[in-house]
Amino acid sequence: MTDALGTDADLPPRLPASPPDIVNPFVRKLEGFGPLSGTDRALLERLSAGGHVIGPRIDLVREGDAPDGVILVMEGIACRQKHRANGARQITAYLVPGDACDLDVALVTQMDHTITTLSPCRVVRIPTDHVKRLMDEHPAVARSLRISTLVDEATLREWLVNVGCRSAIERIAHLFCELLVRLQVVGFASEDSYEFPVTQLDLADTVGLSNVHVNRSLQELRRQGVIELKGRTLKILDRQRLRSIAEFNAKYLHLGTRAAA
């Protein structure tokens, strides 16, 4: 298959260079949902500091496992996925920098899905009692975290519409539009480009298409001069056209005035 998005073999075992003057994506994301005090910001920075750099295609927690803290992605892209007995899988969400798994995960005894890195990631595990204290003692942070959960659910609804109601090219266009907005919010995308370290097979399992249909759609988007893929950098050459193909409206991301794309 065309190596439009990179293959497993040539993925680097390290993180790509972080954007310069990077602001903590966790703080940046939550601050977008409402004002935070200096104390709140400092606390979030402490909670999200350190962590581990983890290679691609590593399960952070598996379906059936007991949850072990709240997983926070600070660099790279991870995903939520479900597997069928026959080996097929569906990716149901991307976790980009600043995104966490379910905050209330401690309320359930076992995971109903698997969380896996798609690219090299820096991942922080926040103990659930720390999250509870954060929610109890810092109402502004709690409010932003709750909005963040609502946005996760809204995004899942949008992805469901994607696989149920959109054509192959529309599904991919929609995902590319969404990621541009989400990555811009946390400082990981420029006006029109971002690192997209997701293999074509992962993309196929994200949008519920065969690898062949994904490849055809990417070629068509290139032919139309809408996107350019060089290595792992996705450049959107014609944002208006991409949005039009996808019928993309960023309202479900609840970003207020921040949705520049």
Contact by Cβ (8 Å): 114, 80: yes
Interface with other proteins (CB under 8 A), residue from 110, 190, 210, 244: 210
Question: Which lies closer to other proteins via its Cβ, residue 167 or residue 249?
Answer: 167
Interface with other proteins (CB under 8 A), residue from 110, 219, 244, 249: 219
Q: Which of residues 48-87 bind other proteins (CB under 8 A)?
A: 86-87
Smallest distance from the beta carbon of 221 to other proteins, in angstroms? 11
The reply to whether 220 sits near other proteins by the rule CB under 8 A is yes
Distance CA 106, CA 189 (A): 32
Question: Which lies closer to other proteins via its Cβ, residue 210 or residue 249?
Answer: 210
The Cβ of residue 54 has, within 10 Å, a number of other Cβ atoms equal to: 20
Please give the structure tokens belonging to residue 72: 């926070």
Cα–Cα distance list, 234 to 28, 223, 228 (Å): 23, 15, 6
Residue count, binding to other proteins (CB under 8 A): 12
- Return the sign of the alpha-carbon dihedral for residues 171, 174, 176, 179: negative
The reply to whether 8 sits near other proteins by the rule CB under 8 A is no
Contact by Cβ (8 Å): 121, 76: yes
Question: Which lies closer to other proteins via its Cβ, residue 3 or residue 104?
Answer: 3
Residues that bind other proteins (CB under 8 A): 1-3, 86-88, 210, 212, 215-216, 219-220
